A and B are shown apart, each in its own frame.
Chain A
């Protein structure tokens, strides 16, 4: 098993952290992982992306041609990466900001109104966790509990402890939002 995910969005949407939490969840499961950020001279509001590979054997290239999944947090990210998603892959679409349908017919789209859900939860900054929850449900490599625990490890003791409960809930909301798109035992 080897699965790659590209997380992409605006700088400030928490893209790099979402990818890191997935990588940590995979590592805690005993899997091999790589987390490769785009580290160009970007500014807030610019684009950001990272590639996470999770595998049960040593990982060769952390650079991936055709990821099994894409998390597109905004329209430019979908435009940039949609064509590269592997056949039968997954695209988590932030439907709060992306209004166009996918061009691809051979991938599964998971439409999640990420910003709207975050607003309902009372904090727009948890959009990354809502999207990650949805991805985790669709990808099926790690569980909701795995990713919640990895998120807690990331936030604990860094002055962000009070945000843990909110982020747990954001992950859960994203996870259940993807439920209706998933068939079989993902």
Chain B
């Protein structure tokens, strides 16, 4: 299959359209503007609805409606815009509706800037909005992987009726790489939605709601969610390991930092420093177990993030004192080079 040179934002949009996306709702923000542009140009031509809403709050509630009506639907934004969508995401989670949300993270907090950052990890993986819920969170580290994970996000979201998030950053959105795009999905392969509100002619009516005034009833709805989350934790953890077999120090990094860390492993190995990498692909469910196993063997587990130490908390929960767990992070959209991270590695091995 031929490769196409695409920006991450464009590859995500095209992969979504090929995954049977029918309704896309947005409000523009940098650094994911090309995703909006691509959808505006392509989706209507290919049988879908592109709608730029009056606000982020409106866009996510349109996703809520389209998902309830039973179509594959998506929204995308960047950090401040995703914050605005949190109320709607919480409603969608409780209503058990599938959808895909793309967050091209940028420097924060506040208005921040448009440079790459990973400061939204807590928001993405721990719920984000109110109540006890999770999103399935997928973290691509390259443009081709972003296209691949969009397809997976739709599939997992449909399978479990849990909203899925692509958590990337401005660098993955803006950079170009060759991409092998997924084949367009056969509409017959999209799971049926017997729960959707499609008109109740000839059948009992379906009700989509995130609401129950009776505590017992709401408790039952919550238990269904929790059972689903336990099943996802058992079945859907994904990660990549690089040179972990004989590693004395294990790097843990995701997304943009995950790929930069691959170069760090190569540079460290050239110096004889036995360095490996574990790159979580699902941030929720988090790969606690694989990290725990490696922590039995290594001396150091070094977490590297574009944040003040958010995934670091999950890494420490996984390691539970089996190894030392230092942290290196950059803030405000600063992206460290491989050599800068190598300096950190040298502090703990060799």
Contacts and interface: CB of A to CB of B under 8 A. Distances in A.
Interface in A81-97: none
B178 A62 contact: no
B175 A35 contact: yes
Interface string A102-128: 000000000000000000000000000
B114 A61 contact: no
Contact of B175 (A27, A34, A60): A34
Contact of A60 (B31, B114, B266): B266
Interface in B282-336: 335
A63 B260 contact: yes
A37 B177 CA distance: 12
Interface string B167-182: 0001100111110000
B55 interface: no
A27 B3 contact: yes
B338 A63 contact: yes
Given A39-B31, A60-B338, A34 B177 contact: yes
27 contacts: A20-B5, A24-B5, A27-B3, A27-B5, A27-B178, A33-B176, A33-B178, A34-B177, A36-B171, A36-B174, A36-B175, A37-B174, A39-B31, A39-B174, A40-B114, A40-B115, A60-B262, A60-B266, A60-B338, A61-B259, A61-B262, A61-B263, A61-B337, A62-B171, A62-B175, A63-B338, A65-B338
A61 B260 contact: yes
A27 B3 CA distance: 8
A20 B337 contact: no
A61 B335 CA distance: 11
B346 to A, nearest CB: 15
Nearest to B259: A60
Taking residues whose C-beta sits less than 8 angstroms from the other chain, chain A's interface range is 20 to 34
A64 B175 contact: no
Top 9 A-B pairs, shortest CB-CB distance:
A60-B263, A60-B262, A61-B263, A35-B176, A61-B260, A65-B337, A36-B175, A65-B339, A27-B178
Nearest to B177: A34
Contacts of A40: 114-115
Interface string A41-69: 10000000000000000011111110000
Interface residues of B, number: 25
Among A37, A60, A63: residue with most chain B CB under 10 A: A60
Contacts of B261: 60
Interface in B195-214: none
A32 B178 CA distance: 7
A66 to B, nearest CB: 8
Given A60-B261, A62-B171, 18 more contacts: A20-B5, A20-B176, A23-B5, A24-B5, A27-B3, A27-B178, A34-B176, A35-B175, A35-B177, A36-B171, A59-B177, A59-B259, A60-B259, A60-B263, A60-B264, A60-B265, A60-B266, A61-B338
Contacts of A34: 175-177
Contacts of B170: 39
Contacts of A37: 174-175
Contacts of A35: 5, 175-177
A33 B177 contact: yes
A39 B262 CA distance: 24
A63 B114 contact: no
A40 B30 CA distance: 10
A34 B178 CA distance: 8
Contacts of B263: 60-61
A62 B259 contact: yes
Contacts of B259: 59-62
